[in-house]
Chains A and B, each alone.
Chain A
Amino acid sequence: MSWVNAVVQGVLLGGLYALVAAGLSLVFGVMRIVNLAHGVLAVVAAYGALVLGRALGLHPFLALLLVVPAMAAIGYLLQRGLLDRALRGGELAPLLVTFGLAIVLQNVLLEAFSADNQRLSVGALGTSGVRIADGLSIGWFPLLAALTGVAVIAGLGRFLARTRTGRAMRAASDDPEAARLMGVDDRRIYAVATALALATVAVAGVFLGARSTFDPAAGATTLIFAFEAVVIGGLGSLWGTLAGGIVLGVAQGLGAAVDPAYGVLAGHLVFLAVLAVKPRGLFPSAVTA
């Protein structure tokens, strides 16, 4: 039963990883930028919900109504003001810019909120679970996080497939010059993509902040696992990212079931194995070719 439990908990954790990684995957898919500030931005969103909770007494999930648009706006401005310029500077520039942004944001958070551990309280939802069988219990909160991850991925997928902006986004990703000739304003499209990515990061940040404690330095761990999920699943493929998250979560769960020392390690090994055998990931997207 402990193996079943390990797989079940791993799948739930994978759903959360996918939720966190969705925005990273989208930004990479559209612009080929690996946003190293992704993890810290999730922490920023968590602090946003924290502040709203303190000031207005908002439940973290209600706070999302404000945090999501705010983060989307930040994303739009970030792309227009900073990343667009960085994109013109070659492949390395966006990497360095987002890395610098991560450090700046982390230290701003430290100044503003100190190093205290914080947590978004979701009340009894956080600690309650349902017992399926002896030795197999599922927490409501991890379940909700995983389902949200699936919903966000599905929503982004539909957006890319069904909407005019989504199609323009894929076009700009495939061939920016041809897209421009067809009248697609690629800079606006990029900004919308980053805005969408940060909107999903806001959701992810609130779930992460309610799941465990966070502090200004918490973004780095988040980034690592999100990045691994994206790479395992296939760069730029959204459903691949969901699969990658689940593969990573299950690998960690099974590794830990063998010996807790192998939990995180098993995830890293799967990541390395995928890089070695299928460098483009398990489900590479045609779009990012």
Chain B
Amino acid sequence: MQRSPSSPGPRWLALSGAALLTLTACGGELGGGEGGGSGGDATLTIGYVTPQTGALAAFGEADAFVVDQMEQYFADSPVEVGGTEYQVEIVVKDTQSDSVRAGEVAAELINDDGADVVLAASTPDTVNPVADQCEANGVPCITTVAPWQPFFFGRGGTEDEAFDWTYHFFWGLEDVEAVYQDMWGQVQTNRQVGALWPNDPDGNAWSADFPQAVEPNGYAITDPGLYENGTQDFSAQISAYRGADAQIMAGVPIPPDFATFWQQAQQQGYRPVIATVAKAILFPSAVEAIGPTADGLATEVWWSPQHPFTSSLTGQGAQELADAYETDTGRQWTQPVGFVHALFEVTVAALEEAGSTEAQAVADALSSLQVSTVVGDLDWTAGPVPNVAKTPLVGGQWRATEGGEHPFELVVVSNSEAPEIPTAGTVEPLPR
């Protein structure tokens, strides 16, 4: 679902830079570690791995707010596990958007910081290496913000062979396919879909899965082929879509590529009736950057202030949490706010359920955990595969606001997959 840093060419500078900086970053963090979590001092150490710099940094922007909030919360209300009150220490490690470094910092958390539980969020490139590291070291691990298929199948999981230590919550491709089709069905089109799939883990998964999911329902996909991230010219795709008169456009491009594509589409006169775009228009800043032509673009919505859920820790509703984020940071809410918050909810629920901070007990508790969080009711006994709990998914459309608080608002327009989440409108065709 994510901006993938996996295109080695264009991003090499950033990544090699990240590698150089690794040295300094480690030095700084090691000094502060006192090897907590050894039990006797009644301190719980929660490690959190997240991309805060580099290509995926937009995903990490909610982290500082959530971690601050959690530190305050835990200071006021220590976690009670098996009759003992524990102080909670949260150690945050930046992956610098590098999947190799994600695995390395996870190992640091386990070996140097003595993390009792490791959390990770944002893209398979972050989640998978962290989970693999935890699985190898026998440390409970909770992850989110990556579709569950790459987390489970991408790491070699099968129906028979699941994981012992690593647990995930998010939606999957089947959900986004259903949500997109519901949105397409709300407008009058010729059911011709132009697909913009990049040659990265997301694009590969979507291009392989989408046709079989939508073609039985009468949609025909025009897929000119996977392109490289960083492509500067989309004339070939635009010609193909125009040739097929694709009134529906769907894709999972990274933000700059979509901005390039969309501008060229306008220049060359390709104007679909509806465009459902993942990844590129996830964050309000990316939508604002596209400019006025972003009005009416549709995307999948995993969390919004309108989600009728409440935090099991702070008691805040989704709206309250989003408001707190906006007040605290002065920025428009983003979807990861709820999910990063939920990571800590799941951690506490698992510890309380386990009644012990012992790793095996926590992992056992996770395997059958049921908890209501600010992103929905999570149930690890009802997942599509072991280790996975699904979260509800709806569809939304970005609408330009005239003189509103923010230039664009994300309006929920499809809830066929999660009727408990209210809609605030229906899909409107893109301006012609």
Contacts and interface: CB of A to CB of B under 8 A. Distances in A.
Q: Do A and B bind each other?
A: yes
Interface stretch (A108-116, A158-166, A280-288): A108-116
A261 B228 contact: yes
Contacts of A225: 232
A115 B58 contact: yes
B85 interface: no
A261 B293 contact: no
B14 A220 contact: yes
B264 interface: yes
B40 interface: no
A264 interface: yes
B9 A117 contact: no
A9 B231 CA distance: 13
Contacts of A211: 260, 263
Contact of B57 (A114, A142, A219, A261): A114
A256 interface: yes
B213 to A, nearest CB: 22
A260 B232 CA distance: 11
B259 interface: yes
In terms of DSSP, what is the predominant structure of the interface of chain B? helix
Contacts of B237: 256, 260
B286 interface: yes
A13 B199 contact: no
Interface in A165-190: none
Interface string A124-164: 00111101000101111110000000000000000000000
A260 B291 CA distance: 26
A5 B235 CA distance: 8
Contacts of B23: none
Nearest to B286: A117
Contact of B58 (A117, A121, A138, A253): A117
Contacts of B10: 220-221, 224
Q: Which of B20, B243, B256 has the most CB of A within 10 A?
A: B256
A212 B256 contact: yes
B227 A119 contact: no
Given A117-B286, A261-B228, A264-B230, A256 B235 contact: yes
B128 to A, nearest CB: 21
Contacts of B234: 256
Given A213-B256, A224-B10, A261-B199, A5 B291 contact: no
A82 interface: no
B268 interface: yes
A261 B226 contact: yes
29 contacts: A6-B235, A13-B233, A99-B13, A103-B21, A106-B14, A114-B285, A115-B60, A126-B266, A127-B293, A128-B267, A135-B239, A139-B267, A139-B268, A212-B256, A213-B286, A217-B11, A220-B11, A221-B11, A224-B230, A256-B231, A260-B224, A260-B236, A261-B199, A261-B226, A263-B228, A263-B231, A263-B236, A264-B227, A264-B230
A131 B238 CA distance: 14
B255 interface: yes
Interface residues of B, number: 52
Given A107-B53, A260-B237, 12 more contacts: A13-B233, A103-B17, A118-B289, A137-B268, A213-B259, A218-B256, A224-B9, A256-B233, A260-B224, A260-B226, A263-B233, A264-B9
A2 B236 contact: yes
A249 B232 CA distance: 9
Interface of A: 2, 5-6, 9-10, 13, 16, 36, 39, 99, 102-103, 106-107, 110, 114-119, 121, 126-129, 131, 135, 137-142, 211-215, 217-221, 223-225, 249, 252-253, 256-257, 259-261, 263-265, 268
Nearest to B60: A115
B81 to A, nearest CB: 36
B61 A115 contact: yes
Contacts of A118: 285, 289
B225 A5 contact: no
B256 A39 contact: no
B242 interface: yes
Q: Which of B21, B60, B231, B293 has the most CB of A within 10 A?
A: B231
Nearest to A256: B236
A102 B239 contact: no
Q: Which of A13, A127, A138 has the most CB of B within 10 A?
A: A127
B55 interface: yes
B269 interface: yes
B259 A212 contact: yes
Q: Which of B10, B264, B267 has the most CB of A within 10 A?
A: B267
B12 interface: yes
Contacts of B228: 261, 263-265
B267 A253 contact: no
B305 interface: no
Q: Which of B97, B234, B237, B289 has the most CB of A within 10 A?
A: B289
A119 B291 contact: yes
B236 A257 contact: yes
Contacts of B20: 103
Nearest to B262: A127
